Amino acid sequence: MTFDVLVLPDLFKNLPPTFRDNIKVAIKELNDPSPGTGKGEKKEIKGANDVAYRLRVGRFRIFYRIDKEKRTVYIFDILTAEQAHKKYGRL
């Protein structure tokens, strides 16, 4: 079961160019977004108002939501681990 993956172009603006390709490859893996599937460490974020997930890619974290009815993954944040801990706490 594959999903469409939507990401705001602005999220790539602040990424160092050397990491963009790795992150783009990881995002393509989110066409099967459920934790425990595909590559990468996908994890449900506990305590989020809406169910959200994070994918670890090296020192970066990709945060996303899954709409199973629309079969779409919405990426809403890409941060370094340090930035993610400051913004969301330790996940």
pLDDT at 39: 56
pTM of the shown model: 0.84
Q: How many domains does the chain have?
A: 1
**pLDDT for 16 beyond 80:** yes
Q: What is the pLDDT of residues 57-75, one digit of tens each?
A: 999 999 999 999 999 999 9
Which of 71, 78, 85 is CA-nearest to residue 31? 71
pLDDT at 48: 55
Q: Which structural domain range is residue 65 located in?
A: 4-88
Could you give the CA distance from residue 47 to residue 86 in angstroms, rounded to a whole number? 16
Residue 43's domain is classified under what CATH number? Answer: 3.30.2310.20
Strand order in the sheet with 52-57: 4-7, 72-80, 60-67, 52-57, 41-45
